[in-house]
Structure 1
């Protein structure tokens, strides 16, 4: 065999790559006639016979070198040499091959993935992504991220005011009332600090407590209104102030108002307290009895005592008078003596 024939054989062998070789064969040297067969020392392998070879199925490939992948024709000794021993190989995960008889597999594009031996790549479902070629699987979107479309290459971070604390989600959750998120990609929302609150959903920041309200610690609670008798006339405060004595506070955000001169306003008063009788006067400690009250009380007490004394005297006199008309008794042991008939 001359060099020209050898080149032709090599060229034809390259064209036959991608065939699944199903029968046993001799070595390369036997095919090329470089060694002698026992039956015939002058064998020339000049033709190819691929009748027993089949094309690789989709999802498979054969990328063998010339020495491993070609078939010889009928040799001079009438001994049929078949195809080489190697078979088609399965495409690895992350690669695919839709056609038959191919010498290599193709990489899945970004946003898709596949398992081994596949004819096509599958698009990543919403909530999953593949940000590189030849991906074996689609990955779930991480915390703080989401994807609402197929074939996602990179997940989208949650906007400020929203969060996501689960993997592989198609949307983000809004921050609840009392919490906020002021950056993108939040995995959770935070509570507002003392004197601040988030009074709407998907809040991106906290606002100061209004007048008449307060909040003492960091939490997801809203600011609380001041109790009756307490007030707060500033914003963003952590506590309320008790209305002082001598003043009254008609509302939680009202500045204390002076108590009227004829009224009483103890500490924590919502409104003035007026004494309902002229016998009492309004003092700092409340309604206090006047001197007139004590005079009247004393007079009434003396009068009552005199009346009681007179009543007792009259009663005793009557008792004495009724005792003088009792029947006369005789001496001891004798029958009474009656006067008259």
Structure 2
């Protein structure tokens, strides 16, 4: 059978072991090599004459570029017969890209490895797929992505790594695209947490909160994993948030939310219902004290009045007992100072 000028399909049949009747070509020797993700065909013609090249046996006008997702093999006769690089007589002469590699263009000599964060898991791929959220890869030419470990997550596609869950959040499975908030009454005290721990007695946490909180003053909580605290009841007091309320003493006051009992002042006051009132001894002391205070005020007023009178008398004495100098008036002795009426 002569392959000159025949269709590419018939030429392919010639390559698969059929004898050539052309004097310049003998039946070709077909070497089949099993490769990863494909089979490579190497056809070696046996030349009887070196004057006519074997490629002249084919119509090179039928050469076409290898499709995207493949590369041409310049070691095969089907591609060597074509003058332009990247062209082959039929698609079977093109090698598909292996997993982890791709080629978006036609007629290329080699495939490209997928970038970090991308992958392709089938042969002959014209493109690579991004790693979905919850997975990653950190190498080129990968045919798969690795899931994030428990306690780690990634919410983006084409990730090259996973991030640890922050405080207050957790992930208890592989491939988390986001970490969950710890439920009410529980918390995560470390990053990359796989689960949550319950709040201790004396503490609480609402579902929207991140960490457990200590109960406020006048509140208590004696159970594990609670979302809220209880107010200390009336007639009880709560010195610590993690203990049961304590009964209020009979002579003390303990309104709702008390931290400690309130007592009336001993001796002077006594509890009467919900208030403190004066004891009898306090009333007697107030009466006596009031009388003593009033008497003291009277004595002070009298003493101040007496001192005022004494000072006035001392001031008038020199005027009444003043000695008058002797003088003469028409030869008659008389006082030198005039005498005023009223003295």
TM norm structure 1: 0.64
Q: Does 1:86 align with 2:65?
A: no
Q: 1:307 aligns with which of 268, 286, 296?
A: 296
Q: Does 1:113 align with 2:88?
A: no
- Which residue pairs with 2:133 in the alignment? 143
SS at structure 1 position matched to 2:61: coil
Which sections of structure 2, spanning at least 5 residues, go unmatched?
13-21, 26-51, 80-88, 321-338
SS at structure 2 position matched to 1:96: strand
- Kindly report which structure 2 residues correspond to 1:201-280, keeping only aligned pairs within 5 A, or say none: 201-216=191-206, 218-219=207-208, 221-261=210-250, 264-273=253-262, 278-280=267-269
CA-CA distance at 1:211 after TM superposition: 1.6
**Cα 1:131–1:15 shift into 2, 3 Å:** closer
CA-CA distance at 1:303 after TM superposition: 0.8
CA RMSD of aligned residues (A): 4.0
Contact 1:113 1:135 in 2 (8 A): yes
Write the distance in 1 (CA, Å) between the matches of 2:287 and 2:109.
115
**Cα 1:95–1:220 shift into 2, 3 Å:** farther
- Which residue pairs with 1:170 in the alignment? 160
Write the distance in 1 (CA, Å) between the matches of 2:143 and 2:163.
22
Q: Does 1:98 align with 2:73?
A: yes
Deviates more, 1:223-232 or 1:196-205: 196-205
Contact 2:3 2:57 in 1 (8 A): no
Contact 2:3 2:11 in 1 (8 A): no
Write the distance in 2 (CA, Å) between the matches of 1:286 and 1:134.
92
Aligned residues: 271
- Which residue pairs with 1:197 in the alignment? 187
**Cα 1:205–1:323 shift into 2, 3 Å:** closer
CA-CA distance at 1:189 after TM superposition: 1.5
Q: Which has the higher strand share?
A: 2
CA-CA distance at 1:140 after TM superposition: 1.5
- Higher-RCO chain (CA-CA 8 Å, sequence separation at least 6): 1
**Cα 1:118–1:220 shift into 2, 3 Å:** farther
Write the distance in 2 (CA, Å) between the matches of 1:118 and 1:286.
99
Write the distance in 1 (CA, Å) between the matches of 2:302 and 2:230.
64
**Cα 1:246–1:262 shift into 2, 3 Å:** same
Contact 1:266 1:284 in 2 (8 A): no
Q: 1:188 aligns with which of 178, 189, 192?
A: 178
TM norm structure 2: 0.63
Q: 1:130 aligns with which of 112, 117, 120?
A: 120
Q: 1:153 aligns with which of 126, 143, 147?
A: 143
SS at structure 1 position matched to 2:293: helix
